[in-house]
Structure 1
Amino acid sequence: MLLLLLTLLFVIGAGGSSDYIFLYHRAGDEVIMSCNIVDSSETSCSIINWLYNRDTSGTHTIVRDGQINKVSPQADKLSLDHRCSLTITNISSEDAGRYICRYGNTYEHDTNVYLNILTLSADQSTDPVGGVTLTCTLWRHTYISCEEHSLRWLDEERDELKKDDDEVHYSGQMNCVSHLTITHQSNHSRRYTCQFVKSNEVKISANYTLVSTVDLTSDSTSNKMIIIIIGASVGLLTILVIVGLTVFITSRRKTGAAEEDAPKRARVPDEPETNSEVHQPMQQASLMDEEESSVTYVTVSYRSQNQEALPSSEVREPEEGEEEVTYATVKK
């Protein structure tokens, strides 16, 4: 770090024209880095290169001759505009570090951009007594440290938290990392703010809203009630469907049984037993008619010897004392 600072002082003291820009952003932001060596008359970035390093161990070329280096880990987030400015979308802590815009292979007129990224995260304690630890980190070039007390914590009234109390525990700052533990959550949501301050000037800040356990319990109860209502509705619907199907099946079975019995009742007169009983009297009457048709009846009258015979044309009714006999001949 001392070597880097001496180099910066030497360049400034020697009247060098290199530019040093410090940017502060939060994770997820979009960053635009200007290349100051490009003037307004420049219409092409064909001789512009962008380089990146996180520390002094190595430098990577992310833009070569105006073209994005496809093998760079950041390639899918990088773009170059007509002024050769470098744009990075959806930045994360891995993007923090030093970016250099260089004209050709000369470094006398480099533009040095230091990207600093602030993150704020929460870690829920697994301890039965509860508690949440907030971690505030300023990600930057490895050899640039943070001054003591440069990371500050504020409550929702914008008052700085400097010591422990019944609600929070401040563990202090280690380089560019600071922790704040909330040991007792109040009955309402609270907002906490982490600031990075340099020379009494706030460079960047991030907020975190901590939801109270009461709110969480209320949300949990509401969710349980919703689940119970949905379960009861599904159960009732299932019962209605089962009852409906049972009624439908029963009705269909009764209808089918009635349809099966109807033909049987219609065929009753055609059954052999019934036919024999119904037609037997008719057959007997027919036989009697046939027998009567085959019988010839002849009536013979006779009178005593003292009576005179009459012509056939003068046949009369027998008088008293006369007898009449009827003879029948059966034809077979």
Structure 2
Amino acid sequence: LSVKCSSVSGISGVDETHVFISSGENVSLPCNNALPDCNSTTWNYNRFRDSAAVELIALGIKKKDTESHERLSLGSDCSLNINNITTEDYGSYICQQWTGVNRNQKLGSDARVYLHVLHVSSSQTEISAGLSVTLFCQLYSYPRGSCGDLIRSEGIQLFWVNQTGVKLTRSDSRYQISSSSDYCIITLNTTLLNEDDNREWRCEVTQRDQVKTSVTYTVKSSGEKTSHQSVC
């Protein structure tokens, strides 16, 4: 199997932005309250609602004591650039501006970015006709509630579609589609046929009926181990 990811997409509010990305991609998180001089910019990160904030950028300088520091950089517009996104990168990112003689006065309100990471994995590492395969598609999101709460508040949904873009449903006898009520996970199970070689299935995340990002799996029935190739 090979995986192909889509481009990033975001939805912005006054001080809040939602960014959707597929694992393996690079992303730039906007700082909507940035001043011309990034020396006043600080970026903090929370993966969980009750976890302590981790300082990633302090007054324009990257912190070297974080797990992800080698993948981080500060853009010329004070955006936070993250390379090779993983499922560990989802969460809440907060951009702040600190001014004053000692840079101890916070200017204005926080600019918060919620990073949602889409990831697909397979139950099989060996692919051949006649085998049953299950594809797991999960949206990793900052836990402000259950997946149901996220769907209701932000209009977010997950779908599997075929290579012509037709949504796969539970009424299709060839595929078993199931979803989790607690987490944003949708699975596709099917038995592979000879004609499935090079067939594509795509997991899409939509917000209010607009596709935000997707991951495509392509069947390679060669008997070799699954290869994951990110093409963005």
Shorter-chain TM range is: 0.7 to 0.9
Aligned counterpart, 1:45: 38
Deviation at 1:173, TM superposition (A): 3.6
Aligned counterpart, 1:70: 64
The higher radius of gyration belongs to 1
Deviation at 1:188, TM superposition (A): 3.5
Identity of aligned residues (%): 28
Aligned counterpart, 2:136: 135
Deviation at 1:81, TM superposition (A): 2.7
SS in 1 for 2:93: strand
User: Which residues of 2 match residues 63-212 of structure 1 at below 5 A?
Assistant: 63-104=57-98, 105-106=105-106, 108-124=108-124, 130-144=131-145, 145=147, 146-147=150-151, 150-163=157-170, 165-174=172-181, 175-189=183-197, 190-212=199-221
Q: Give the alignment's TM-score, normalised by structure 2.
A: 0.75
Deviation at 1:161, TM superposition (A): 1.2
Deviation at 1:107, TM superposition (A): 6.7
Residue pair 2:90, 2:115 contacting (<8 A) in 1 also: yes
Deviation at 1:96, TM superposition (A): 0.8
Q: For residues 95 and 125 of structure 2, what CA distance do their matches in structure 1 show?
A: 44
Q: 2:25 matched to 1:29?
A: yes
Residue 63 to residue 134, structure 1, CA distance change in 2 (3 Å) = same
Q: For residues 134 and 78 of structure 2, what CA distance do their matches in structure 1 show?
A: 42
Q: For residues 30 and 70 of structure 2, what CA distance do their matches in structure 1 show?
A: 19
Q: For residues 207 and 14 of structure 2, what CA distance do their matches in structure 1 show?
A: 23
- CA RMSD of the aligned region, Å? 2.6
Residue 32 to residue 125, structure 1, CA distance change in 2 (3 Å) = closer
SS in 2 for 1:52: strand
User: Which residues of 2 match residues 265-276 of structure 1 at below 5 A?
Assistant: none
How many residues are treated as equivalent by the alignment? 195
Amino acid at match of 1:85: S
Task: For residues 155-210 of structure 1, give each alpha carbon's deviation from its aligned partner in whole angstroms, at most 9, with x where no partner exists.
Answer: 22322111154432112343311111112424232211111122122121111012
Q: For residues 18 and 156 of structure 1, what CA distance do their matches in structure 2 show?
A: 37
Aligned counterpart, 1:277: none
Residue pair 1:167, 1:185 contacting (<8 A) in 2 also: no
Amino acid at match of 1:51: N
Task: For residues 262-310 of structure 1, give each alpha carbon's deviation from its aligned partner in whole angstroms, at most 9, with x where no partner exists.
Answer: xxxxxxxxxxxxxxxxxxxxxxxxxxxxxxxxxxxxxxxxxxxxxxxxx
Residue 83 to residue 156, structure 1, CA distance change in 2 (3 Å) = closer
Structure with the bigger RCO (C-alpha within 8 Å, sep 6+) is 2
User: Which residues of 2 match residues 232-251 of structure 1 at below 5 A?
Assistant: none
SS in 1 for 2:16: strand
Task: For residues 124-149 of structure 1, give each alpha carbon's deviation from its aligned partner in whole angstroms, at most 9, with x where no partner exists.
Answer: 189xx621100101111122534288
Residue pair 2:49, 2:142 contacting (<8 A) in 1 also: no
| Unaligned stretches of 5+ residues in structure 2 | 1-12, 99-104, 225-232
Aligned counterpart, 1:20: 16
Task: For residues 11-61 of structure 1, give each alpha carbon's deviation from its aligned partner in whole angstroms, at most 9, with x where no partner exists.
Answer: xxxxxx95111111111111112222224xx2x322221100011222111
Residue pair 2:117, 2:139 contacting (<8 A) in 1 also: yes
Q: For residues 99 and 201 of structure 1, what CA distance do their matches in structure 2 show?
A: 23
Higher strand share: 2
Amino acid at match of 1:24: F
Q: For residues 150 and 173 of structure 1, what CA distance do their matches in structure 2 show?
A: 12
Q: For residues 32 and 123 of structure 1, what CA distance do their matches in structure 2 show?
A: 31
Aligned counterpart, 1:249: none
SS in 1 for 2:38: coil
Amino acid at match of 1:207: T
